[in-house]
Amino acid sequence: MKEKRFSELLAPAGNFEKLKTALYFGADAVYLGGKDFSLRSFADNFTADEMKRAVETAHAAGKKVYVTANIFARNADFSALSDYFRFLSEIGADAALVTDAGVFAAARAAAPALKLHLSTQANTTNKYAAKFWYGEGAERVVLARELSVAEISEIRDFCPELQLEAFVHGAMCISYSGRCLLSNYLAGRDSNRGECVQACRWKYEVRAEGASCPVEEDARGTYIFNSKDLNLIGHLKELSEAGVDSFKIEGRMKSAYYLATVVNAYRRAFDRLAGKPSAFSDADIFGELKKCAHRDFTTAYALGENEKTVNYADSQTKGTCDFVAEVKEGGECSALVEMRNRFRVGETLEILSPTDTCNQKFVVDSLCDAEGNPVEDAKLVQQTLRIGCPYLLRAGDILRRPVADKK
């Protein structure tokens, strides 16, 4: 067995609120993008001031911030890129993620003190490439999703000083580690410049002149390019023993509820592996991941070759719980919440929290608006409400409703 290394739980942050959600539910670090040079142009992303505040917020909590600058750059990008890397160094970003060799060199020249992580877009699938990037000054390589645990172990043995980061959960691409041309071809939006329209998630048909023919795969559907979602929560121990340092969750475009659910589950899985007391069994933790929207799960290539990575039946499965409210001000008998989906007095809600109250259920027996007027039906979008609850709620907790209990 290899020497035990640190295990970092790394979460996406599409905006400042999601950053706070990730940190609250147990992420050790977050990755985020600015308004330029990031591969998620349609996330809210961060202005310069927001990014500075994000770094300060994370550091105050003892957490880290990695900033993505992982586009495939063109000549015209470089003067602004150099200024950007100097800015990241000045605000104390813990690292920048880059893909392109020219961008890597520009970052080294503009901001020598800024640590660099090589993005998964660089397709690091072998130990020789990993060794090369370490020699160039990369602190960490984000491995391609196509690698098995055994291959990761070989890379660790060959590059013992290099930090290794691996995706463990979330959406996957039909192309090698996201290097897709389909979006550009069909919609004129370059996925390698952050503008992917996720054309792989569309339904497809065969069209002849004047006629169209549905495409079916064993009568299961037409989603012939639609990858399943990666889920390696049951294999964290093997990945850790293989030498993975940072365990990455995909999803800067996902909702805050998705982020809270997934980060909470992985935090509890890591705590169990560390021998910390937990009321959650392995089955409980896996069940948590089904409570938010997801596609069918796959271990992809972590355990070896796998042909069952495409979700032919549909694009996405609705989770087993609805996100109905976020706690804004906690309390022992009642709390101030912000409505996110309609719910009513008499319904049973469940608590999502990083604390021991997680998964506790209670019946809504009292509800009133900000002026103290009784409310029977919370149907006004983002209305502030006071809700009675027999459990201690904290700001940042989430209230969800099991779908089976929905009236």
Q: Are residues 104 and 15 in the same domain?
A: yes
Which distant-in-sequence residues (6+ apart) come within 8 Å of 321 by Cβ?
Answer: 291, 292, 350, 400, 401, 402, 403
Name the amino acid, one letter, at 363: V
Tell me the pLDDT of the chain (407 aa) as tens digits. 555 566 899 999 999 999 999 999 999 999 999 988 865 555 578 999 999 999 999 999 999 999 999 888 899 999 899 999 999 999 999 999 999 999 999 999 999 999 999 999 899 999 999 999 999 999 999 999 989 999 999 999 999 999 999 999 998 776 656 656 665 655 666 655 556 666 666 666 666 666 665 555 444 445 666 778 899 999 999 999 999 999 999 998 899 999 999 999 999 999 999 998 888 899 999 999 999 999 889 998 899 877 677 666 666 678 999 999 999 999 999 999 999 999 999 999 999 999 999 999 999 999 999 999 999 999 999 999 999 999 999 999 999 999 976 55
Closest alpha carbon to 198 in 160, 221, 225, 219:
225
Tell me the pairing of strands 398-402 and 348-352: antiparallel
CA angle 34, 38, 39 (to 5 degrees): 145
| Residue 256 placed within a domain | yes
| Residue 199 placed within a domain | no
Indicate which CATH number applies to the domain containing 270.
3.20.20.70
Q: Are residues 155 and 27 in the same domain?
A: yes
| Residue 248 placed within a domain | yes
| Residue 112 placed within a domain | yes
Q: Are residues 263 and 368 in the same domain?
A: no
| Residue 189 placed within a domain | no
| Residue 186 placed within a domain | no
- Which residue carries 């569309």 as its tokens? 202
Count of structural domains, the chain? 2
Q: Which of residues 298, 330, 356 is at a domain's end? A: 298
- 226 and 309 Cβ atoms separated by less than 8 Å: no
Q: Are residues 289 and 335 in the same domain?
A: no
- 289 and 281 Cβ atoms separated by less than 8 Å: no
Tens-digit pLDDT profile for residues 80-132 = 999 999 999 999 999 999 999 999 999 999 999 999 999 998 999 999 999 99
Cβ-based burial of 265 (10 A; exposed 0-12, middle 13-18, buried ≥19): buried
Residue 4: φ, ψ to 5°: -65, 135
Q: Are residues 16 and 89 in the same domain?
A: yes
Q: Are residues 85 and 121 in the same domain?
A: yes
Q: Which of residues 298, 332, 361 is at a domain's end? A: 298
Task: Identify the domain containing residue 129 by its residue range.
Answer: 8-177+226-298
Q: Which two tokens stand for residue 249?
A: 């969750």
Q: Are residues 66 and 161 in the same domain?
A: yes
Q: Which of residues 265, 298, 331 is at a domain's end? A: 298
- 331 and 393 Cβ atoms separated by less than 8 Å: yes
Closest alpha carbon to 31 in 248, 256, 260, 259:
248
Q: Are residues 290 and 335 in the same domain?
A: no
pLDDT of residue 219: 46
| Residue 368 placed within a domain | yes
Q: Are residues 235 and 154 in the same domain?
A: yes
How far apart are the two ends of the chain, measured CA to CA in Å? 52
Q: Are residues 233 and 361 in the same domain?
A: no
| Residue 233 placed within a domain | yes
Tens-digit pLDDT profile for residues 294-353 = 988 999 889 987 767 766 666 667 899 999 999 999 999 999 999 999 999 999 999 999
Q: Are residues 115 and 250 in the same domain?
A: yes
Does this model's pTM top 0.85? yes
Cβ-based burial of 196 (10 A; exposed 0-12, middle 13-18, buried ≥19): buried
Measuring CA to CA, how many Å separate 110 from each of 105, 193, 243, 307? Answer: 9, 22, 31, 44
Residue 38: φ, ψ to 5°: -110, 150
Q: Are residues 22 and 107 in the same domain?
A: yes
Indicate which CATH number applies to the domain containing 331.
2.40.30.10
